[in-house]
Amino acid sequence: MATTDKASPRDRLLDAAAQLFYRDGVSVGIEALCRTAGVSKRSMYQLFDSKDEMLAASLEQRIARYEAQLALAGPDSGTPRERILHIFEQVEKASTDPDYHGCPYLAVLVEVKDPGHPASQVARAVKERLQEAFRSRAEQGGARDPGLLARQLMLIFDGASARAGARVERLDDGLATATVTALLDAAGVG
């Protein structure tokens, strides 16, 4: 990811953080972040109190794009079943990118063990919104137990993205959507 001279130092740091944390994990050092962003450590500490705060801000900045990638064109487009399946189709599609490392929000939750960490709080909120979206769509689709189905869908989503991100599973054969289809059928989602 190239940084531009027109972007503010804050934006360049957030872009560098997103790139490096996703690719290399949250243990990336301040020096690497600043070097990639073309920003001095002094400037970084004037903008952010800590690397933890920068990580949280970087995750926060990308929520809208992340959620938009998972959504159908409009909030009312598609049936609840189609909207659920679309999310898994997007994960399958993303997993074919050689730079895919799984869900960035799940990665943070796995790497950062402290639930009080600012980045953990952002990541947890994103995952809770996704689970609530699954629950709502399951309810709209007539699922017998929308809450249980939402939890099951989260297990498939997180498991599929983690396994594909670790390159131990390929999703380009429709495995995730086939699994979700069977689950939706069993739950009575029409």
Does 180 lie in the same domain as 118?
yes
Does 104 lie in the same domain as 141?
yes
pLDDT in tens, 66-125: 999 888 766 678 999 999 999 999 999 999 999 999 999 999 999 999 999 999 999 999
Per-residue confidence band for 1, with pLDDT thresholds at 50, 70 and 90: very low
Predicted pLDDT of residue 3: 46
Other beta carbons within 10 angstroms of residue 128's beta carbon come to: 11
Assigned domain for 1 exists: no
28, 43, 59: which is the final residue of a domain?
Answer: 59
H helix runs in the chain, sequence order? 9-24, 30-37, 41-47, 51-61, 63-70, 80-94, 104-111, 118-140, 146-165, 175-187
- Residue 50 pLDDT exceeds 90: yes
CATH code, 165: 1.10.357.10
Predicted pLDDT of residue 72: 74
Residue 150's domain spans which residues?
63-187
Does 44 lie in the same domain as 131?
no
Number of domains within the chain: 2
> What's the Rg (C-alpha) of the chain?
18
Does 96 lie in the same domain as 40?
no
Does 158 lie in the same domain as 69?
yes
